[in-house]
Amino acid sequence: MADCIQDKGYHAEGNVWPHTQMVLRQLEKHSRWAGLPQADKETLIAAALVHDSGKPATTVEEDGKISRWIRLARDYHYRIRIVYIEPDLATIIEQNSQRPDPVPESVVLKLLEKLDTPCTSEAHDLQLLPL
């Protein structure tokens, strides 16, 4: 995990291991952590430890940019097109503000700037490429 780089625009810590450690620390800071049963805490810790376990196998750096899943899809001869419909900005900001631990609005806006939202006529699928 320490050898797996991440896009610094999203994860300033640089690689997967410090990011995973940050996730673990955030669990303990969460307002509901203290009230959770021990079994639930252990499940969440395990989930935090493995939540990025697929990144090393699927991360490539091309032209100074980090790409994920593309290499994995190529290895299996698939072309992936994933499309979803995003709510409008006001809805996203409102929903985020209602969370127990909202993401800073500046982070939400930064991520949304990078989002290329598809139109409603698009769909998602996996297409097997010829060998």
The answer to whether residues 27 and 49 belong to one domain is: yes
The answer to whether residues 37 and 94 belong to one domain is: no
The answer to whether residues 89 and 72 belong to one domain is: no
Letter string b/e over residues 81-101, b meaning 16 or more CB atoms within 10 A of that residue's CB: eeeeeeeeeeebeeeeeeeee
- Is pLDDT of 76 > 70? no
The answer to whether residues 46 and 97 belong to one domain is: no
C-alpha span between 126 and 73 (Å, rounded): 9
| pLDDT at residue number 79 | 55
The answer to whether residues 9 and 70 belong to one domain is: yes
The answer to whether residues 67 and 86 belong to one domain is: no
Q: Angle CA(19)–CA(22)–CA(28) in degrees, nearest 5?
A: 150
Closest by CA position to 67, among listed 80, 78, 77, 58: 58
| pLDDT at residue number 37 | 92
The answer to whether residues 129 and 91 belong to one domain is: yes
What mean pLDDT, rounded, does the chain reach?
A: 75
Give residue 92's domain range: 80-131
What is the C-alpha radius of gyration for the chain, rounded to an integer number of angstroms? 18
The answer to whether residues 5 and 68 belong to one domain is: yes
Sorting pLDDT into bands at 50, 70 and 90, what band is 71? low
Residues 94-118: pLDDT tens digits?
888 988 888 888 888 888 777 665 5
The answer to whether residues 8 and 72 belong to one domain is: yes
Query: Do 34 and 28 meet the contact criterion of CB atoms below 8 Å apart?
Result: no
Name 89's Cβ contacts closer than 8 Å, sequence gap at least 6.
112
Crossing angle (nearest 10°) for helices 38-50 and 16-29: 160
What total of structural domains would you count in the chain?
2
